[in-house]
C-alpha cells in the first residue's frame, strides 16, 4: 500500500498477480487479497471486481488506484473516460526504437487464430493509441528503456502495438 484515505487505496501490484477473478484464474487475485485484508471497496464493478477502476496485466507490475466507495469509483472512472487521468508505463525493449518519440495507432481485438491473444488489424476491434518516448539506451545498443503513454486502454495494448513494429518487451 503506497497511499490510503477514506476514498482510495493506491497499491503497488507485483508482477505475477492477477487483478480480479475470472473463470480461467485459479490462483488468488488482488481483489481476493483486498477482501482478505478487510478493506472496504466500491461495489460498482460487481462482486468479482470490487473497487477495480482499471487493471494491469498479470505480468505487469505497477501502481493501481483502487476505489473504496462508489462515489470515488465514479469519479475515477470519469477521469479515465475523459482522459484527465493519465496512464504511463516504463518498459525495456529490444531492439531499440528508431525515433525519439514513436506513436502507434492500430485497432486491437482478439486474435482469430488464438482467442487468448490480442492483435492488431482484425475485424471487430477497438481503436487504440500508444506513445513511446526513448529514455535510455544500453551501451551495446541492443536494449532500450522507454516511457509508454496509453491514450486508450486495451488488453495487452503496449505489447500488441510494439509487435506491429517488431519490438518486444524484455
Task: Give the active site residues.
Answer: 57
Taking alpha carbons only, the member of 121, 125, 147 closest to residue 135 is 147
* Joined grid coordinates for residue 76: 475515477
The burial of 107, by beta-carbon neighbours within 10 Å (0-12 exposed, 13-18 middle, 19 or more buried), is given as: middle
CA atoms within 13 A on the CB side of 82: 6
Amino acid at each position: 500500500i503506497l497511499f490510503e484515505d477514506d476514498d482510495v487505496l493506491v497499491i503497488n501490484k507485483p508482477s505475477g498477480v492477477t487483478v480480479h477473478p475470472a473463470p480461467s484464474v485459479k490462483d488468488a487475485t488482488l481483489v481476493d487479497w483486498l477482501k482478505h485484508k478487510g478493506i472496504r471497496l466500491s461495489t460498482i464493478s460487481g462482486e468479482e471486481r470490487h473497487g477495480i477502476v482499471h487493471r494491469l496485466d498479470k505480468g505487469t507490475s505497477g501502481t493501481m488506484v483502487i476505489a473504496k466507495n462508489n462515489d470515488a469509483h465514479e469519479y475515477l472512472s470519469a477521469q479515465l473516460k475523459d482522459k484527465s487521468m493519465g496512464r504511463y508505463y516504463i518498459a525495456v525493449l529490444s531492439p531499440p526504437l528508431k525515433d525519439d518519440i514513436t506513436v502507434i495507432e492500430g485497432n486491437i481485438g482478439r486474435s482469430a487464430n488464438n482467442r487468448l491473444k490480442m492483435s492488431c488489424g482484425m475485424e471487430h476491434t477497438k481503436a487504440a493509441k500508444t506513445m513511446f518516448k526513448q529514455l535510455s539506451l544500453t551501451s551495446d545498443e541492443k536494449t532500450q528503456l522507454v516511457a509508454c503513454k496509453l491514450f486508450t486502454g486495451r488488453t495487452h495494448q503496449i505489447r500488441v502495438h510494439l509487435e506491429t513494429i517488431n519490438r518486444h518487451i524484455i
